A and B are shown apart, each in its own frame.
Chain A
Amino acid sequence: AQSVTQLDSHVSVSEGTPVLLRCNYSSSYSPSLFWYVQHPNKGLQLLLKYTSAATLVKGINGFEAEFKKSETSFHLTKPSAHMSDAAEYFCVVSEWRGNTPLVFGKGTRLSVIA
C-alpha cells in the first residue's frame, strides 16, 4: 500500500526567503503525487501534480516540486516566500493502478514572518 511522510510538521521562513517542504513517499507501483494547500478556514486547493511526465513540476503561485524516484521524494519549493503563502500543505500519493484512494500526509504548517 502507498504511504507518504511529511518530514516537518511546521516550517517557518522569513518573507522573501526560499521555501522547502519535504515529502517522502512509498508506493509499490508507479505513483501519482500531488501537493495540496489549505488556507485557514478554506477548502483544499491543488498546487501541482506529478503523473509520470516531466519530473520537475510547476504549479500555481510560483511553487514547484521535483519527483526523485531514487530518493522516493517529492519536495515542494518556492524561491521567495510571500505572506499569503502561510497555510497548511499536504503531500498526497496515489497509485497508477487506479481505483485507489488518495493518501494524505499529516501536513506541514508554513508560517511566513514579515
Chain B
Amino acid sequence: GAGVSQSPSNKVTEKGKDVELRCDPISGHTALYWYRQSLGQGLEFLIYFQGNSAPDKSGLPSDRFSAERTGGSVSTLTIQRTQQEDSAVYLCASSPTSAGVTEAFFGQGTRLTVV
C-alpha cells in the first residue's frame, strides 16, 4: 500500500479481555516497530522486528504483551487480559532498513480504550 496501515483505528474493550492490533507495513520495508503513546506522553518503544532476525522485545511492559510478524510483512500486537493502564494509542512504523540509516514511516495508530 501507499503507507503504513493500522487496524482498527479505534478499539474499546472491557478490562480482562484480549485484543489484537494489526499493522500492515509499506511493501518491501524490512524493519517494523510498535510504539505506545499515552495521553500527553512521548512514544514508548515496545518491540522491533528487523528482517529475519529475532525481534527486540526489550520494550514490552509485561508478559501480557506479545507480537508477531508473519512472512516478514503484517504484524499483530496482542494484549492479553487488558488493564485500564493499557489505554493508549498504539503506533506502528516501518522503514526500508535499520532506523539508523533511514526514517521510519508511521501509521495513524490504533486508539485503545479499556473500560
In the complex, chain A residues whose CB is within 8 Å of the CB of B108: 42-43
Q: Is A56 an interface residue (CB 8 A)?
A: no
16 other A-B residue contacts (CB within 8 Å) besides A31-B100, A97-B100 = A42-B108, A43-B91, A43-B109, A49-B103, A51-B100, A90-B43, A98-B98, A100-B100, A101-B33, A101-B56, A102-B33, A103-B45, A104-B43, A104-B45, A106-B41, A107-B41
Given contacts A104-B35, A106-B42, A44 and B98 within 8 Å (CB-CB): no
Q: Which of A99, A101, A105 contacts B45 (CB 8 A)?
A: A101
Establish whether residues A32 and B99, one from each chain, have CB atoms under 8 Å apart when the complex forms. Answer: yes
Establish whether residues A43 and B100, one from each chain, have CB atoms under 8 Å apart when the complex forms. Answer: no
Q: Is B106 an interface residue (CB 8 A)?
A: yes
B38 to chain A, nearest CB (A): 11
Establish whether residues A101 and B106, one from each chain, have CB atoms under 8 Å apart when the complex forms. Answer: no
Q: Which of B43, B99, B109 contacts A94 (CB 8 A)?
A: B99
Interface string of A76-114 (1 = CB under 8 A from B): 000000000000001000111111111111110000000
Chain B residues within CB distance 8 Å of chain A:
33, 35, 41-43, 45, 48, 50, 53, 56, 59, 91, 93, 97-101, 103-104, 106-109
Chain A residues within CB distance 8 Å of chain B:
31-32, 34, 36, 42-46, 49, 51, 90, 94-107
Establish whether residues A107 and B50, one from each chain, have CB atoms under 8 Å apart when the complex forms. Answer: no
Roughly how many angstroms separate A104 CA and B46 CA in the complex, as a whole number?
12
In the complex, chain B residues whose CB is within 8 Å of the CB of A100: 56, 98-100
Establish whether residues B100 and A98, one from each chain, have CB atoms under 8 Å apart when the complex forms. Answer: yes
